[in-house]
Amino acid sequence: MTAFTDATTAGDPRFSALPVRPGKIVAVHLSYLSRADQRGRRPAAPSYFFKPSSSVAATDGTIERPEGTELLAFEGEIALVIGEPARRVSIEDAWAHVGWVTAANDFGLYDLRANDKGSNVRSKGGDGFTPLGPTLIGARTIDPTALRLRTWVNGVLTQDDTTEGLLFSLSQLVADLSQHFTLESGDVILTGTPAGSSVVVPGDVVEVEVDAPTALGAPASGRLRTTVIQGTNAFDAEVGSLPSVDDTQRSEAWGSREAAGLPPEPEPFVLTPELRAKLEKAPTAGLSSQLRKRGLNNVSIDGPRPLHPDAKVVGTAKTLRFVPNREDLFKQFGGGYNPQKRAFDSVREGEVVVIEARGDASAGTLGDILAIRANAAGAAGIVTDGAVRDLDAVTAVGIPVYSNGSHPAVLGRRHVAWDYDLTIACGGATVQPGDVIVADADGILVIPTQLVEEVVDAALVQEDEDAYVARQVAAGHTIDGLFPMNAQWREQYERETAENSDRA
């Protein structure tokens, strides 16, 4: 393919490695398997953002880390330069529209991501944030599935991956973008970065190179070199939002919590069979007392009563929220595969579906079909501060259900199913996804996961003590000094407990 020139870029060192100043620079959010696994998510399709052509930088140049920021991160990438315009091209034909390949560094300032909402306008659009070059590799001379990308920081190799590790091929990216707009000659596509991206500081030197090691002559872009320097200009709060960082941004910028110097994430809560067995043994009355001792008084879901009074419910909360019915909203969101149906379809074994219905029992919040679905999925129970429809059929399903009564009307009479897996209010209690729900004939409790083990162990100890007290009262002893136990009774209780333990 023949190169072309652009008089508007003549003498401008920023575009010395390119045939023209690009009209568009389109970047891919996440495209390498190694990076996706590092981030803990694999997108089903590519997504993109734009960078201004003013962000292009010359090879062997500098990039400023603005005053008052800390998280400037490099991202070595393969850049595609469009040769022939592409509009609605197929994957098979897409590569014919690529003129050249070169190295790119998609710098980003994580301090500015909070208010960008994925657009990356501020965090990646700054002057000098898109170095390109130094040499173009002709697209006709290489196999796009056999390119290698490497990045060095201060001479140490930090990224080393190939296009075999892409979630989406280079040709797919061209074809996909051409569905939406014309890719014009000189446009640049930044094709994403593999694992290894991290933070750089003033004085660091970052080098990126793209090559085709198996192609004839092993063509290469040469090393794209950028030196980080400290900027002296701070952002103005009167003009726009200021930089801000948190541990999530630090972890993503550095590549891991460990690299960012942060402590490991706490292990996710798991309701183990052993812990579940303890909770099934502990009465809600005892659990409530222990929660109260720890300053938690507003953790009971008040109002709903059980359809199966003898059934004990223990599980983690799967939340569903209804808002008051508004006819236009119900028409738009109430039908089809709405959040109510999606919530019940996504319930997992051992979860308790907890429904916020604002205590309004003048319409059903579930019926027999949804009860059957929850039961088939292995749900531990259902709690709603609204009503149940098809009461006899729901009861017959057998899954423990707590409700504020029954009503023959469908939910559209009073409710619109609005969202699920979010913090809700049910029966006067705040319930978050994953909270532990324990319910019996006395009532329903919400237990924060960080307190579950401590609370249930204390409740079981208290249950043993209360059983001992009950036996002494039944034997004729007075309550005074026994409930609660004074020092004499406490000593006798502990002695008898130890003796019984030795016999066992």
The annotated binding site for Mg(2+) is made up of: 390
- List, as residue ranges, the binding site for substrate: 367-370, 389
- List, as residue ranges, the binding site: 367-370, 389-390
| CA contacts within 13 A on the Cβ side of 462 | 19
Tokens coding 45: 């399709």
Burial of 319 (0-12, 13-18, 19+ CB in 10 A): buried
Report the SS3 class of residue 254. helix
Burial of 376 (0-12, 13-18, 19+ CB in 10 A): exposed
Tokens coding 173: 């990216």
Tokens coding 473: 């009262």
Query: CB within 8 A of 3, min separation 6: which ones?
Result: 19, 99, 136
What is the rounded distance in angstroms from the CA atom of residue 113 to the CA atom of residue 39? 16
Phi/psi of residue 309, nearest 5 degrees: -60, -25
Give how far Cα 249 sits from Cα of 36, 229, 265, Å.
16, 21, 14
- What residue has token string 């330069």? 81
